[in-house]
Amino acid sequence: MFAFAPLSTAAGVAGAAVAWLADTLTPLTGGAATAAAVVLFTVAVRLLISPLTVAQVRGERRRAALAPEVRQLQRRYAGDPARLQSELFALYRRAGASPVAGCLPTLLQAPFFLVMYRLFGTGDGGAGLLDERLAGVPLGWHLGDGLTGGVLAVFGVLVAALLALAWFSSRRMRRAGAVTGAPAEGPGAAVLGRVLPLLPYGTVLVALVAPLAAVLYLVTTTGWTALEQVVLRRPAVGVG
């Protein structure tokens, strides 16, 4: 799965970075050094794309500021959905606020997750990393491999964390949508407004089939996203 040269090369680079971090952290974290290295690797990835996240938040604020004009267009072209969509896109374009720009940081994280899945799911580019453990559970372990030892406890804590973070993110998305008026923007947007708040729960489904190291990546990146929502989006969400 995912067997093509660029991904294998990226897995090799990521494996070297994680191994170096683990060696550096060993005096402080002992046997959990590789798990801690995965967390730090994830934080580094999020810092790398943080400028895009800031740009995303600015775009959200622009869209929120456009809400009165959006509602006016909705009333004016209520009987002409095609014209409404055209006018809305023109409005967003003039304001420099793309209605889909918020997806970019999430899309850019996908390759990093695939690299982690490749690295710990197959061991490609990470010799020895699959044997490293967290609370006695190998980082390459999947739930489907069995629930022996501390597997249920370790995965249970991580999946519970993902559920809590998904609920938090979904709630924030619904509130933000209520502020911007986005769910009502056109015939397909109403459906999109109902589906988008459910997307955070996809991380829980992925955790059920991913290796432990990839689940650590998911928990860390999702937690980082939740922190960004609190720190960066508070003024915009607080309006409503």
pLDDT tens sequence across 122-169 = 655 555 677 788 988 988 888 988 888 789 999 999 999 999 999 988
How far from 198 is each of 12, 105, 110, 179, 201, CA to CA, in Å?
34, 18, 18, 18, 6
Rounded to an integer, what distance in angstroms lies between the CA atom of residue 214 and that of residue 112? Answer: 10
pLDDT, tens digit, 9 for 90 and up, residues 16-53 = 888 899 999 999 988 899 999 999 999 998 888 888 77
Its domain, for residue 139, covers: 5-237
3 state SS of 179:
helix
- Which tokens belong to 94? 């003039």
The total number of structural domains that make up the chain: 1
Q: How far is CA 126 from the centre of its chain?
A: 24
Is-above-0.75 flag for pTM? no
Give 68-116 as a DSSP string: HHHHHHHHHTTT-HHHHHHHHHHHHHHHT--TTGGGHHHHHHHHHHHHH
Rounded to an integer, what distance in angstroms lies between the CA atom of residue 167 and that of residue 229? Answer: 13
